[in-house]
Chains A and B, each alone.
Chain A
């Protein structure tokens, strides 16, 4: 959950004014990587015909292992296991595991985003555009341009809190320069000595009444998680 779970992490630190865009993005990535975590939450997709809600439980360990299980909604029973190479999906009706090497989307949030894409500098070129103020917070405005076609968005503008490196807003652009989506962090909570974005809203800028809201009910960081959780056997269970 690049935008939902991970990038929205806050680590108190002293601001270094001379940081480059790469340094800031690296800081965002570092701050959003934990030894492990377990979270429960829900995704509310709003479209022309009302809202569709799916609740989930997510686990992650290190940078490359994550597992999401949907526990309600149309995706109930569906599990997504992501490794550094592949994305595995288990559909409950089929008792079958499918491997995907590309993305599949749930509303405005792609599975890759939900399961953590934390090597931003590998996939994007960065540029510091300046500093602004959002809701009284001083933020860095950073432009990300995709180096590869494998990422979901060609261009992004990140608004990173200059004190805690929480991403407060993201603007997503198409290759033609059209603004397609906006993500806003609506709630940040302190968990232990870290700050986590626990509520965010992604709005589709091309369609009316179309948004995806992500809410975390609970999150535990740096807890012991068995490696077996991140296996095909657990996915099939």
Chain B
């Protein structure tokens, strides 16, 4: 019996690697922040965060990934799944199912073509969903089912289904009881998850896009119907080079059966940007990026235009310096970050970020963050 079990175990052990080729990667960051608002005392906080990612390997036409994120602050710990997806492909199409990052449109800070995430705000993101200290300024993931059909080297069509995954809650009467009694004494209104609405087929979102290249310009056009808000969201984006790299996107949110321009003009968004990289001598590089977001008909006159300037200097392959910010030129609101990232040992970096927030009606908010990251 023992021999049989040992034999089965050995066979199983040999067989497992054939089906369980996994690449594991992880990242840990420790952050310390000192903050001062107006004339108040300086406060300090620290937190640890990171991720553990498991990626399948070994198969050419099937991939999967599970990424667990965590944040730990004092005695509070938050564990979440940021990515959990399976991709597979056949000769004519490929499919992604699960939770994944998806990007439509163009733009690092402002992207009017991002009709999927314009209802979301990234964790840690400020106004306009931008996190100025992050490597990727806008980063949000969603549960989705995606079908992509390539029509050429630079042309493909995409269909997408987005199940409702907002944290949806309703006020509902919940019974309360006297001890040792099964008969409710009464009912109190409590906030509970609204599973009924979340599972309702009419609350889901779906759409598609078409991407191609013509005359050296990447053209992208698509549409999402948001079942929860009953909004139709078409967009169009262009990305090309004319001396500098440029992008231009526009989108609108049109309520069901309210198709007259007057009804949806307030939702009209236009984003544009230019990017240029100077190769300086001795392996140094300087990049300039300027983006703008314009909402020409929005009700709040002071929210009609936002600017994102960024200048970045890489003096060598170990150090990167940047200055970036979100500016509202109409009321002079500024949220800016001066940062330095220093890569030393393999996978190890030290980041220092000085953030300044100024709003006319609020006190000056200053913070200094030091982040140490190890990817392994």
Known contacts being A95-B103, A104-B277, is A50 close to B346, with CB within 8 Å? yes
Determine whether A133 belongs to the interface, using a CB cutoff of 8 Å to chain B: no
Is A51 in contact with B102, judged by CB distance below 8 angstroms? no
Q: Which chain B positions have C-beta within 8 A of A52?
A: 343, 345-346
Q: Which chain A positions have C-beta within 8 A of B152?
A: 231
Is B283 in contact with A96, judged by CB distance below 8 angstroms? no
Determine whether A103 belongs to the interface, using a CB cutoff of 8 Å to chain B: yes
Q: Nearest residue in A to B57 (C-beta to C-beta)?
A: A71
Q: Nearest residue in B to A85 (C-beta to C-beta)?
A: B216
Determine whether B166 belongs to the interface, using a CB cutoff of 8 Å to chain A: no
B16-42 vs A, CB cutoff 8 Å, 1 = contact: the mask equals 000000010100000000000000000
Interface centre among A51, A52, A108 (most CB of B within 10 A): A52
**Minimum distance in angstroms from A145 CB to a CB of chain B:** 15
Is A96 in contact with B277, judged by CB distance below 8 angstroms? no
Number of contacts between A and B (CB, 8 Å)? 99
A98-109 vs B, CB cutoff 8 Å, 1 = contact: the mask equals 011111111110
**Minimum distance in angstroms from B346 CB to a CB of chain A:** 4
Determine whether A17 belongs to the interface, using a CB cutoff of 8 Å to chain B: no
Is B239 in contact with A99, judged by CB distance below 8 angstroms? yes
Determine whether A233 belongs to the interface, using a CB cutoff of 8 Å to chain B: yes
Determine whether B150 belongs to the interface, using a CB cutoff of 8 Å to chain A: yes
Known contacts being A227-B153, A233-B148, is A45 close to B317, with CB within 8 Å? yes
Is B136 in contact with A51, judged by CB distance below 8 angstroms? no
**Minimum distance in angstroms from B46 CB to a CB of chain A:** 24
Known contacts being A45-B317, A93-B136, is A101 close to B150, with CB within 8 Å? no
Q: Which chain A positions have C-beta within 8 A of B23?
A: 76
Which of these, B87, B103, B282, B316, contacts A180 with CB under 8 Å? Answer: B282
B residues 247-290 with Cβ under 8 Å of A? 276-277, 279, 281-283, 285
- A104–B283 alpha-carbon span in the complex (Å): 10
Determine whether A73 belongs to the interface, using a CB cutoff of 8 Å to chain B: yes
**Minimum distance in angstroms from B111 CB to a CB of chain A:** 11
Known contacts being A50-B346, A231-B150, A233-B148, is A103 close to B101, with CB within 8 Å? no
Is B345 in contact with A49, judged by CB distance below 8 angstroms? yes
Determine whether B191 belongs to the interface, using a CB cutoff of 8 Å to chain A: no
Determine whether B90 belongs to the interface, using a CB cutoff of 8 Å to chain A: no
Q: Which chain A positions have C-beta within 8 A of B344?
A: 47-49
Is A176 in contact with B100, judged by CB distance below 8 angstroms? no
Is A74 in contact with B346, judged by CB distance below 8 angstroms? yes
Q: Nearest residue in A to B241 (C-beta to C-beta)?
A: A101
Q: Which chain A positions have C-beta within 8 A of B100?
A: 95
Is B316 in contact with A207, judged by CB distance below 8 angstroms? yes
- A45–B283 alpha-carbon span in the complex (Å): 14
B310-337 vs A, CB cutoff 8 Å, 1 = contact: the mask equals 0000001110000000000000000000
Which of these, A96, A99, A154, A207, contacts B245 with CB under 8 Å? Answer: A99
A residues 189-236 with Cβ under 8 Å of B? 204, 206-207, 227-228, 230-233, 236
Determine whether A120 belongs to the interface, using a CB cutoff of 8 Å to chain B: no
Tally of B interface residues using CB under 8 Å: 42
**Minimum distance in angstroms from A143 CB to a CB of chain B:** 18
Q: Nearest residue in A to B101 (C-beta to C-beta)?
A: A95
Q: Which chain B positions have C-beta within 8 A of A100?
A: 245, 277
Is B153 in contact with A232, judged by CB distance below 8 angstroms? yes
Q: Nearest residue in A to B276 (C-beta to C-beta)?
A: A102
Q: Which chain B positions have C-beta within 8 A of A48?
A: 318, 344
Determine whether A174 belongs to the interface, using a CB cutoff of 8 Å to chain B: yes
Is A73 in contact with B346, judged by CB distance below 8 angstroms? yes
Determine whether B49 belongs to the interface, using a CB cutoff of 8 Å to chain A: no
A residues 32-48 with Cβ under 8 Å of B? 45, 47-48
Determine whether B375 belongs to the interface, using a CB cutoff of 8 Å to chain A: yes
Interface centre among A94, A106, A149 (most CB of B within 10 A): A94
Q: Nearest residue in A to B65 (C-beta to C-beta)?
A: A92
Is B245 in contact with A74, judged by CB distance below 8 angstroms? no
Q: List 19 A-B contacts (CB under 8 A).
A: A48-B318, A50-B345, A50-B346, A76-B23, A93-B101, A93-B135, A93-B139, A94-B101, A95-B102, A96-B136, A100-B277, A101-B241, A102-B245, A102-B276, A103-B279, A105-B283, A174-B281, A180-B283, A232-B211
4 additional contacts, CB 8 Å, given A50-B346, A74-B343? Answer: A45-B317, A50-B345, A207-B316, A231-B150
> Which residues of A are in contact with B by a Cβ distance under 8 Å?
45, 47-53, 73-74, 76-77, 85-86, 91, 93-96, 99-108, 149, 152, 154, 174-176, 180, 204, 206-207, 227-228, 230-233, 236-237
> Which residues of B are in contact with A by a Cβ distance under 8 Å?
23, 25, 55, 63, 87, 89, 94, 100-103, 135-136, 139, 148, 150, 152-154, 156, 211, 216, 218, 239, 241, 245, 276-277, 279, 281-283, 285, 316-318, 343-347, 375
Q: Which 9 A-B pairs have the closest CB atoms?
A: A231-B153, A49-B344, A233-B150, A95-B101, A102-B277, A96-B103, A101-B241, A52-B346, A174-B281
